[in-house]
Structure 1
């Protein structure tokens, strides 16, 4: 049965949810306070670099199933309203619910009785229980329905999810069933649980991935000391069904819009509950150390010493986004490494297929031609795992560089295919390719 769905917030999660719900046959009204964003979306202009998203927005606009507005009043007739609002970390690490707390009283004065209010934003445990008070209403059922969208795969993750989590108090309420029915076309298993468990499940999932990434980064360091290859070790581990191959690739650290803020939020929640979450705290500490390890590797590659000076040294960076498939620079480990290299006095040129500028980091000259980053460079550093970097003409890069060495922080490249370069990976041994 088609529903009238309201989406509050046209950011990454809200826009993806709006476009995908329209694709599933529902009538969707997406509200955002940014009038210029609303106008652009109404013309089908999508600023987010996400595969298929612009296509689905255009389809919804053309079918008349998707509309964008800055007028909350247009949510009055909605059957369900999804809250897709930002919850950034405050200075102490806890999520800042200021936007949510501002919007909810407005919705409470607007929505018709029986409208289901759904939290899709990542929110602290206990938020669903607070929402009726913030709405000033007890006739609006509340459902926790956290999102599990990966940037670069958001549309596919929404339409083909691993699971759909629906939290209500008590579990299995009629409002929860209504939310679950929206996802029936996806065929995904539904976890019907209480709201606190649903809210905690989101944090627990992202924190576990962060721990797994930090684990493999420490393992990579151990491999370097013992002469082992972390790729072979991780491949062996990943064949164990209890472990799996995902998130076992070392790199310059984890970042993006979710893992850093969600680990911070979960640590704050654990501390406030009197629970010592040392394993997660150590994962965060390892992540900070990993970025410093990359800088030391660059110093070693350029000067022969992990403490050597980079002052005045030209270094080319391949990749700036926190991962391939997106132009998102939020908490990007690539930017953290670039900032440290700049503070060390290096002159930086960078190329990323999805990034044209780096606000706030003037020391990085962003170029649109990947071959320009090699010009007179003492080293190239691969910081984002864009597959197109494998297909570059490495002999041409070597001819342009002052010193043909590449520090591959993602183990993206085949050491045998980077003609003329010395390849320095993570958790591997340096290899010279003639």
Structure 2
């Protein structure tokens, strides 16, 4: 079959690499892709939010499946757009616009969890007109305070603040000052859950589901989880503390009611559910939903799926995922993200990346890269992710770090302490 992947990051390179191995594949395209995807697929210069142009292109190139990587096209309703009569035969991997609101609105996600008895932190949401009430609610809570922009903010719309006055000032900056643009026109304030984070990934055809490997990512730019939030500086899979007892709780209390809740509310959902969890005293609570795979978690989760990913995705169209057997590599996988100097604030692009050919026994996933005159150059804040396998995450990390030492670009930075808290 002919497949188009939408996106340009490490997640999309990981999808392309996994799908490229399938005997079911005829032609693979990535729009717009990056320097890495060009080695396993054909990059196409298309905007992932220009649905009319995408529709014309997929019809012309007889595409059978579209895999949506990032959240923006999903929140804008690409699934619904592809329900047009001439596009209905294309298997689009991703939820409907209604389903995508689980990520597009923190408030909607919280209300959904409450309706279906899914454990989460206590919260209230506020608009600009309710600033005083928001400040009063901050005073009712114990620090630290968690402030979340209701809408999409590129993974950076969450603030955790220890001081009451600083929390109030930040609330005003978000609601009145537009700190995160339209995303913070509404702000969710919630109680702080003191525990350890992990992520669970589920793929569903709307009826049945399969649980994918667990992962833990590291969001802060600085070692010891300090500094500004980023899109993710590294990840490990599986999570060492996610034993059978914990995973049973996660499945029974969170995954099953989430999938059943979507079905009971007639929300069309054929895609991935990324569930961000906080484990407090061995009890799981949902921090957030994402309606697609995470990045850089995809770079450790997909390499561990040893069965045919394209076959699994193909089953979505007929709602036959329950007939598929997902096989998981028992080894640990880790990825370390190499970023541009200055990220997540101002950074330069166009730096040549050298010695990628010296990497051995690791996978290099390109995130923010492009080709310029035959050379691979930086084209984003998070540039490349180096993924390795090992008998445990420490052995896998050692390989990733050894291979990162081979690679170079001007002002390259990476965290040397991924997995430090495990």
**TM-score in terms of structure 2 length:** 0.29
From the two aligned structures, give the one with the greater helix fraction: 1
Quick check: which has more Rg, 1 or 2?
A: 1
- Which structure has more relative contact order (CA 8 Å, sep 6+)? It is 2
**TM-score in terms of structure 1 length:** 0.28
